Amino acid sequence: MTTAGNFRSTVARAACDVSIAGVPWPAYKVIALVVGIVAFLVVGALTMSAAPAVLSAAGAATASWVGFGIFCADRR
């Protein structure tokens, strides 16, 4: 039997998951990867240098990973 608490937990987890090739990924990880790639491309195009592009992409991906990770953890 499923209790109401287990059902709510399952629904909240499903809302924060994305299926990639049949494997459930937390949505905040996918969002962080996309944010990092976009930051890398934008900063790389503006500065035409790899170092600032890599550093800012890593910072943006890390910040979004932690931020969205906390948001999804609160929903569980």
Residues 6+ apart with CB under 8 A from 25: 17, 18, 19
Question: What number is the average pLDDT over the span 54-69?
Answer: 95
> Comparing 23-27, 37-41, 56-60, 68-72, which segment has the lowest mean pLDDT?
68-72
Please report the pLDDT score of residue 17 as a whole number.
86
- Map out the domains of the chain as residue ranges: 4-75
- What is the identity of the amino acid at 71? F
Angle at CA of residue 74, ends 69 and 76, nearest 5° = 100
pLDDT, position 2 = 55
Which residues share a beta bridge with 18?
25
